[in-house]
Chains A and B, each alone.
Chain A
Amino acid sequence: MENITDNQFTEWSQAIKNGDKESYSNFFRACYEHYVRFAYRYVKSKDQACDLVQEAFIKLWKNREQLDPAKSLKSYMFTIVRNLSLNHIRDHKNKLESIDDREISLDALIIHQEQNTNDSYIKQTVKVIKKLIKKLPERQREAFELSRFDGLQHDEIAEVMNISARTVNNHIVSACNTLREEYEILNRRDKVIAL
């Protein structure tokens, strides 16, 4: 999806509005996987993520006449997928799991890191980053991930999350501050352990 131009999205949007199934299918082929990954971040199940994104595409087709080609099709789909995902979480709440994940302390994290010395460096980094990101407040994390991992602009994120661009910016700046600080602390402790 990273390589698709805004123009392409506009073309698809126009064509889908006119009921062109060919373009609709092309859009699906090009972006399905990315949206599934996005939904997975919420629902944590591949099958469920696939189902939700298919539902989103069906919804897009049903409402195609209301499509506004001047607006970004890319973020419109993000919005639908996000709403469906949030609804799904709401209806299948499994709160315990997410709270447990969040309360892992830095110390536990470092011990964890030491125990897995067999893991490759990348594998370890991935674990560390995962924990750091999980510790961010939910809305900050959402905005940050949409910006970093999905490459959306701040105004697009504002549309997807239904908040002002200013709030998006605040969320992202706060998230970056936290990540920077926590990362520094980790690195400092790493050096101490190495000594």
Chain B
Amino acid sequence: MALIKLNTRSIPDNAVTPAKVSQNLGRRNILRNGAINVAQRGTIFSPTNGQTYIFDGFLATVGSSFNMDTTVTQSSTVPTGEGFSKSIKVTPDSVVSSSGSHNGGIAQRLEVQNVNHLGWGTSSAKSLTLSFWVKSSKTGTYCVQLQQNATSSGSEYSHVKEYTIATADTWQKVILTFPGNTTQAAAGSSNADGLRVNWWLVCGSSDHTAADSWAQTASYQATSNQVDFMDNTSNTWYMTGCQLEAGDNTTEFEHRSFGEDLAACQRYFYKWTSTGLSDHYNFYSPYTPNQVTAGLPNSSAISPMTFPTTMRAAPTVTGTLASGSLNRATSTPFGVVFQVAATSGGTNYPTAFSATAEL
């Protein structure tokens, strides 16, 4: 019997049907650390009147030097059965009245290059759907603001949406779909602050606006319905499972491994601690004593470090040594070189440092 040789060319195109799979597979969450698992800086913070970076990816943000006198902790209180183990918990430490442009809340900032794929500033701008789990002892209306930065002041855009907490102390999933901004593209250098998600807890009356439309403003904004979370020190507000994805629909939260989230977060903040041994991080001089005496350009002792992830920009660095103090630390997005002035004998090495390249 004769055998027929088959290959893919033998199969007519119309005999194959596409796989029935979602069009939205792969990485969907534009936010980092949405499950609040990564906390390199620590697990408890006391924000007041400045921008305070808290758990990786998030900051406590205020407007007009408002005193958001709160304690923010990484909590183990989570919605049941959703696979989360951590949440953000905020509670006021004192009752603080807001007025004028006083605002306070939790935020995440995104690089321009991480939102360019949305096609904003064109007629085909994609919408964004934000989902998160929240519970609070303070019922009422809360606001989330998308804030789009631009290269020049006055060109920023804002879009506010409301959500309601109807039942106190009960976890609920909030889903908000923001239309794409057809007017303004994310602008600035690719690693600049391009888009902010602001979860407001309090907003002064000067910054009240209408919900559900894009408006050109640089202000932090919420609607007049925004509750005053700072009116009672017994108030609590929890959030976890934050996901921002392109399109009109939300999908199940994309749980990532701790290592994946940590690496994503280390682009913006990296904390290193020594083993306690000098190891190979000892300061050393690249020159022989004779060369140093001859006055070569770099007579100080150095200790170079390489970051595990290329950082967003050259970071601000602070560090400690086994003895003495640093003369200089010179950073790039790839690493840092610590320098001390002395090249004479003795052992010295960095014991800890942190590098910050937040937005």
Do the two chains bind?
A: no
Q: Which residues of B contact A (CB under 8 A)?
A: none
Q: Which residues of A contact B (CB under 8 A)?
A: none
